Amino acid sequence: MAKQFQSIALLLPEIKELLEQKDYTLLKQVMRDCNPIEFADCWRKFTEEERLQIFRLMPATAALKLFEILEIEDQRALLGKLSEENVTPILESMPSPELAKLFHKMSPRVVKKMTGLIKRQEALAHIDLLMKFPQKTAGSLMHPEFVKLSPRQTGKQALLLLQAIARPNEREHLYSLFVTDDQGRVLGGITLQDLLSAPEDEKLSEIMTSVEGIKVKPETDQEEVAKLFSKYNLNAAPVVDNEGKLIGVLTVKDIISVVRQEDTEDIAKMVGSRAVDLREQSVFKIVRFRMPWLVVTVFGGLLISVIIRFFQPTLAKVIALASFSPLIAGMGGNVGSQSAMIMVRSLALGQINGNQRLRVIFREMRVGLVLGVIYGVLLGGVAYLIYGSQYDLHFAFVVAAGMCTSMTVAATMGAIGPLFLERVGVDPATATGPLITTTTDIISNFTYFALATLLLMNF
């Protein structure tokens, strides 16, 4: 029966009290019933000294599991405070890709010190290979440890080989395997399920499937790799060099963390910020991150003020126009943001190619038009009920037309904006939020007051 873990959130006051009383014997007993994953979720609720004490008191297996799922900044902090006796088992037990990620964030001096504690020469060679590739590339994420299968082997021979060399905690690498020739070039892929279900005497060359469409170069950006896994619903993909030789394997476990990271970055960028804002403590650094794109909003607001002043004669005649302006601009901004977010996400997933772009833009324009007509009629009706006796039906028509035009234009701009930014080499997720909102506000106000000027000239 699986072990039942207690919630850290419920035990947090008790753990802190035991730490303060230095009752480590009882604390060890409490921690045995806690899942390391929950400790990672509550890690920032402890002080630095409490974190160090908790980590030292944990069983070795739980401590390693906790270390692997902590943020890299927290890993670095622990390594800086632990003794070499505590650090060495961690470094010896961690997979090479995880160590490479950690070392990428450290200074060369610290990396040299850490690698000096690792005794396994094979692990050191793998770390050196991974460190050659930039962060957030397939080469830095891949597992350089993999099983070499020959097309001449039978299913039974392959299974016996896997049983002989399989090691604990590396089972995920056995689910998808790759067949190579004598020079190490990838010929095909095969799963553990294929081996188990195939006749014992059938050769792997007859069982394997083609992997031509899913080969990945080590320099490929992790976001492109994530798109590949999503498109083909992959469990693993081979990483090959320029000669087609297998140098590593990417698993879906690696890509899940990439997708989570990329989604966090995209969400932060959509509002003109960065993912590090979620962890950053310095107010001034956060302000520096957010300020550039907010400048666009400021200048946009100033331009809106100029537009309103330009139409001041119209407003002076029909002051009621001002009461609907924020609502019309706000609805346009919301629709534009929706279209922009859909477009950015579709671009990130590789769902839009050159032939589909015009069709997607036209679709969003039609969506904006339908929404504009619906809300325009509703708002026009409200305007007539409130001001109909004073300005008759013309005023209601202006409000309805302003709402319809605003939402149609906004949805169209929301679709065009990310495509334009991508074309000029700017990350759509970075600038789309503030840029689209400000642009749609400007266009919404201009069209609204321009229509009012044309249709209410007789007032």
CATH fold of the domain at 8-136? MgtE N-terminal fold (1.25.60)
Give the pLDDT score at 321: 78
What is the average pLDDT value for the chain, to the nearest integer? 81
Give the pLDDT score at 209: 92
What does each C-alpha distance from 289 to 53, 262, 286, 418 come to in angstroms?
34, 18, 5, 21
3-state SS assignment for residue 242: coil
**Pairwise pLDDT comparison (119 vs 157), residue with the higher score:** 157
Residues 198-239 pLDDT 10s: 888 999 999 999 999 899 999 998 888 888 888 888 889 999
Q: Residues 433, 338: contact at Cβ < 8 Å? A: no
Give the pLDDT score at 371: 94
**Pairwise pLDDT comparison (418 vs 189), residue with the higher score:** 189
What value does the mean pLDDT take over residues 73-95? 86
Q: How confident is the model at residue 273 (pLDDT cuts 50, 70, 90)?
A: very low
The CATH number for 148-266, chosen from 1.20.1090.10, 3.90.1150.10, 3.20.20.70, 3.10.580.10, is 3.10.580.10
CATH fold of the domain at 280-455? Tetracycline Repressor; domain 2 (1.10.357)
What does each C-alpha distance from 137 to 130, 242, 287 come to in angstroms?
10, 16, 29
Domain ranges in the chain with CATH number 3.10.580.10: 148-266
Q: Residues 344, 268: contact at Cβ < 8 Å? A: no
Residues 128-155 pLDDT 10s: 999 999 888 999 989 888 888 999 999 9
Closest CA to 126 of 116, 117, 113, 139: 139
**Pairwise pLDDT comparison (83 vs 297), residue with the higher score:** 83
Distance CA(35)–CA(6), nearest Å, equals 7
Per mean pLDDT, which range of 6-20, 252-266, 437-451 is the poorest?
252-266
Q: For strand 148-149 and strand 176-180, is the pairing parallel, antiparallel, or unpaired?
A: parallel
**Pairwise pLDDT comparison (355 vs 359), residue with the higher score:** 359
Say what the alpha-carbon torsion angle 291, 293, 295, 297 is, to the nearest 10 degrees: -130
Q: How confident is the model at residue 170 (pLDDT cuts 50, 70, 90)?
A: low
Percent of the chain with pLDDT over 90: 18
Give the pLDDT score at 432: 62
Distance CA(45)–CA(39), nearest Å, equals 10
Domain ranges in the chain with CATH number 1.10.357.20: 280-455
Give the pLDDT score at 249: 92
Residues 40-54 pLDDT 10s: 888 888 888 999 998
Residues 421-437 pLDDT 10s: 778 776 666 556 667 77
Residues 300-311 pLDDT 10s: 777 877 877 787
Maximum mean pLDDT: which of 7-21, 114-128, 307-321, 433-447: 114-128
Give the pLDDT score at 1: 39
Per mean pLDDT, which range of 232-246, 272-286, 396-410 is the poorest?
272-286
Q: Indicate yes or no: pTM above 0.75.
A: no
Domain ranges in the chain with CATH number 1.25.60.10: 8-136
